[in-house]
Structure formats: structure tokens, C-alpha cells
Amino acid sequence: MVDIRYGAAIAISNGATISIARTLSVDAYNIIDVSVPKGGPLKVTLGTPSAKMQLLVVTAAQYDEDLTYSFKSGGDAFALDQPVILAGAGIGVAGDFSSLFFSNSVAGDPTIDVQILVARDPLA
């Protein structure tokens, strides 16, 4: 088992502050580094089905509404304009998946580096 700590501090100017600090005990994790070239879709296999995932984090070197990801080939595309964190049962909102599909139509010709963390329960 591996413990993964994650958290966030959200502060609204002249308003509330919300802090999140969690620890997950998982069987294993993968960190996947991928460069997303212009065009797409680029399929990235995550190595485990979503039903076994406990944490999915997607970050990018450059966030942009024209850098998108989907959970299925040809499925609904979501802008990777902010980091993505799905944890616990919340991963289920995306349905069954074991890959992500990235498309890059960012102005110019940038290749954008993306990092994905997948933490999972035992596969068997």
C-alpha cells in the first residue's frame, strides 16, 4: 500500500477560505508524462479501469480552452483550462474509461506537456 496526500487551499478575496487535506491509501499509482502535439485525438492509456481508480489528476504545462480531453474516443470534450482532480466515487461521473483522449488546437504550434496521476485499488 502507498499513502498519497493531496490538498488545496481556496481563498476568495474578501470572502471565505476552504482548505482540503486528504490521504488515500492505494495499492499502486502511475504517473504518465505525455506531450500533446497540435491536432488529435491522442489516446493515452491509463493502465487501469476507472472502477479501480481512487484518484485521477491531470495537469498541464499550459492551460488553454483549446487544449481538450475526453474520456472516450469521440466523447464529450472538456477544456483543460485548469488542473483536474477527481477522487473517490467522484471518478464515476466520467463513466467507465481506461484511457484519456487529448486534442490540441491552441494557437500557434505548441506541443503541450501533460502529466497524469492515476492511483488505484488492487486490480484482482
Residue 40 lies in a domain: yes
Where residue 93 falls among pLDDT bands split at 50, 70, 90? confident
Residue 11 lies in a domain: no
Residue 42 lies in a domain: yes
CA neighbor of 54 nearest in space, from 79, 27, 73, 81 = 27
- Cell 492511483, located at residue: 119
Residue 16 confidence (pLDDT)? 96
Give the domain CATH number at 115. 2.60.120.10
Task: Tell me the β-bridge partners of 36.
Answer: 112
Residue 13 lies in a domain: no
d(CA 122, CA 73): 26
Q: What is the largest CA-CA distance in the chain?
A: 49
Terminal C-alpha separation, the chain:
14
For the chain, the domain total comes to 1
pLDDT tens readout for residues 69-86? 999 999 999 999 999 999
Residue 21 lies in a domain: no
Residue 15 lies in a domain: no
Residue 22 lies in a domain: no
Name the residue with higher pLDDT: 81 or 94.
81
Residue 57 lies in a domain: yes
Number of H-type helices and E-type strands within the chain: 0, 10
Where residue 9 falls among pLDDT bands split at 50, 70, 90? very high
Domain assignment of residue 72, given as a range: 28-120
Q: Exposed, middle or buried by CB within 10 Å (0-12, 13-18, 19+), for 32?
A: middle
